[in-house]
Every structure is written in structure tokens, then in C-alpha cells.
Amino acid sequence: METVRREQLSATYNQMAQVLHGQEMPDKKRLKLVEDFMQKSLMYSSPATLKAYRTWHTQLPEEEEWPREAFRPNSLRYEAFVKAMRKDLGISNWGLQDGDLARIRINDFDEYP
């Protein structure tokens, strides 16, 4: 059962990580991806992943241009969501500090308040 669950989640989690971490795509496709994520995650995701997604998603800034001070906290909430997805897939987060995943993509991450 665990293998089936991970198979169901792996492609969806990978797509969510790509889209939410800067891959450009039309809004319609992005909305479809989030809808697919929600559908699969309700059945297969761990409680930790569902909670991490909710924490990140409900606190997204609503402005089109985010205030500078919103960037770092949002990135860390998103990172917690990604770590929860990784754990669901059986990937260890041991040794990762807060911000390590963000720094892979964002060179000046530590310059944000």
C-alpha cells in the first residue's frame, strides 16, 4: 500500500515543486495542477503535508507585488511544505537547515529580512 501511495504522489509532488518554485506556465495550467494536487493529496498525503500546505497557502501575500519582508517567511513556509512532501516520498530531510532548499534557487536568500 505504501508503494502505491508514493507512486500516486511522486509525479504530483514533483509538479507542485516545479510550479511553485518558479517554473513559468499559463495560469490555467497552474490552477489545474493545484486542483490535481488537492484531489490526490486528500486521499494520499500525510497529515503533515496537508497541514504544511495549508499553512503556506493561507498565508500567501495577496498583493501582486509582495512586500520585501514577506519574502523570507513565505519561502520558509513553502520550504516546510516541500520537506513534508519529501518525507511523504521517503526522502530524508536530515541535515537540512531552514533555508537550505530556498538557497538552492535563490542566491540572495540570506539578504531578506
Amino acid, single-letter form, for residue 26: P
CA-only gyration radius of the chain, Å: 14
Cell of 36: 490535481
Q: What is the pLDDT of residue 21?
A: 64
Checking if the pLDDT of 23 tops 90, the result is no
Residue 79, domain extent:
2-111
- Backbone φ and ψ of 7, nearest 5°: -65, -40
Q: What is the pLDDT of residue 61?
A: 84
Please give the Cα distance from 39 to 78 (Å, whole number). 19
Checking if the pLDDT of 106 tops 90, the result is no
Contact between 53 and 13 under an 8 Å Cβ cutoff? The reply is no
Q: What is the pLDDT of residue 79?
A: 93
At 105 the three-state DSSP class reads helix
What is the per-residue pLDDT across 48-84, written as a single tens digit (0 to 9) for each? 999 999 999 999 888 878 888 998 999 999 999 999 9
Checking if the pLDDT of 27 tops 90, the result is no
Please give the Cα distance from 84 to 50 (Å, whole number). 9
Please give the Cα distance from 67 to 69 (Å, whole number). 5
Domain count, the chain: 1
